[in-house]
Homo-oligomer: A and B are copies of this chain.
Amino acid sequence: MTLETVKQDFKSHLNKISAYQEALGLIFWDLRTGAPKKAIENRSEVIGILSSEVFNLSTSDKMAEYINELNANKSELDELTVKMLEECQKEFDRNRKIPEDEFKKYVILKSKSESVWEEAREKSDFSLFEPYLKELVETTKRFVGYWGYEGNPYNTLLDMFEPGVTVKDLDQVFGSVREAIVPLVKGIEKSTVKPDTGFVYKHFPKASQREFSVHVLKELGYDFDAGRLDETVHPFATGLNTGDVRITTRYDENDFRGAVFGTIHECGHALYEQNIDPALTGTPLSGGTSMGIHESQSLFMENFVGRHPEFWRRHLPALKEYSPEQFSDVSVEDFIAGINESKPSLIRVDADELTYALHIMIRYEIEKGLFNNEFEVSELPEVWNKKYKEYLGVVPSNDAEGILQDVHWSGGSFGYFPSYALGYMYAAQFKQAMLKDLPQFDEYIANGDIAPIKNWMTEKVHRFGKTKKPLEILKEATGEGLNAEHLIKYLEDKYSALYQLERAK
């Protein structure tokens, strides 16, 4: 067989894996957006069979042959094939260590757990979800055993979402962010500035919130010919292919912020996936390079664009059209003060920009503790509530607003949460670098001219998909490695101004 033939067969093999993943992506989207209840039982079987096939194709002897053959001729390969090869090898090495039947059981477990979690959350009853979470944690621990780890078992899980980041890094970086946030939170508590947020909680009909969300998505460059907006319990964006990147959101008729900022957040994720080089479609490189970089895109959109004062100078009039009574008396300044109110709270996704990181640190510490056998799944509600008291000074009154609030664990995602905080740092670093190329940043926002901003991100981040590693993208775009100082400075500037805080020198 010629090398050219091997390359072609390898490519077809990857196309097949990608096709199954696209079908699975649609199935998951459908399960969350409106599949009937009784569909789930057999659909879980379908998920099991398809995932198991993906697993087989990624770990098959055939794949081993491709990897060996291509590695033996690596110097003759084009760059793209090398990247695909490396991606496959990483996946191969990781998956080959898990017995097929265990993996299949795990996939079915995940699918069922998500449904059970939804029910448990509705009923605010952790005991319903507990046995599933326990099995998920045990399975994941067993998998870490198969994979091995360096330093800390949790490092292996972190590496799946943010290659190269370790518990040691996070303890350090999270430490310095915490040191900056805590005095700000205390300062805000003592500040005499108390933004009026009455308008936030006024009734805003779901249908109108949806219309406004669509309006904003269009302004931000989200391509509706390559996506759609639906409603779910837990909002997400999913890229089935670059021509089909779907967003979901959640509408609270008595607090429009969830839907509006949630939609803008998911829009950031979606712009990433819509703008990956289409030449990568059907390969394992057509996706975000890491969860942290992905999150940097959503947080950039949410905080640096969506909470920008100029953004609301432009969009408040439109918002007033969709809910006239609610906003008629609200000035732009009051609106900006109101939507940027910072106050310790219980629900992560509703948290403000400043205290959000504390929610992440709690989850990080819980996951780290779980995988270092510091406590059991059954103790989680207690541990959770204790940490909320300690970090944020608030205590959940039930499981739904505590331990059951996040979908992640029900999908087996452990090690994912820290990406949110890393995304914050990346986003602040991108913003810093972008300002050098686009000094008129504020003006673009004021004029609704988002294209230069989007194009910068596409040029520096989106288009590469997984052809570059997270720190490679960061370095090339900003000239630096991971650096928390830009985020810290941004938060200090912003909240000192909003709450007229004295700056410690």
Contacts and interface: CB of A to CB of B under 8 A. Distances in A.
Size class of the A contact interface (CB-based, 8 Å): 35 or more
A225 B37 contact: yes
Contacts of A19: 45-46, 49-50
Interface string A223-248: 11111100000000000111110100
B30 A26 contact: yes
B50 A241 contact: no
Contacts of A228: 34-36
A20 B19 CA distance: 11
Interface string A38-58: 111111011001100100000
A27 interface: yes
A15 interface: yes
- With most chain B CB atoms within 10 A of its CB, the pick from A16, A39, A49, A224 is A39
B243 A40 contact: yes
A87 interface: no
Contacts of A24: 23
A16 B23 CA distance: 14
A240 B46 CA distance: 11
Interface of A: 15-16, 19-20, 22-24, 26-27, 30, 34-43, 45-46, 49-50, 53, 223-228, 240-244, 246, 281-282
Closest 3 CB pairs of A and B: A38-B243, A39-B244, A42-B241
6 contacts: A15-B49, A16-B53, A20-B50, A36-B243, A39-B241, A42-B244
Given A39-B240, A43-B244, 6 more contacts: A19-B49, A23-B24, A26-B26, A38-B242, A38-B244, A39-B226
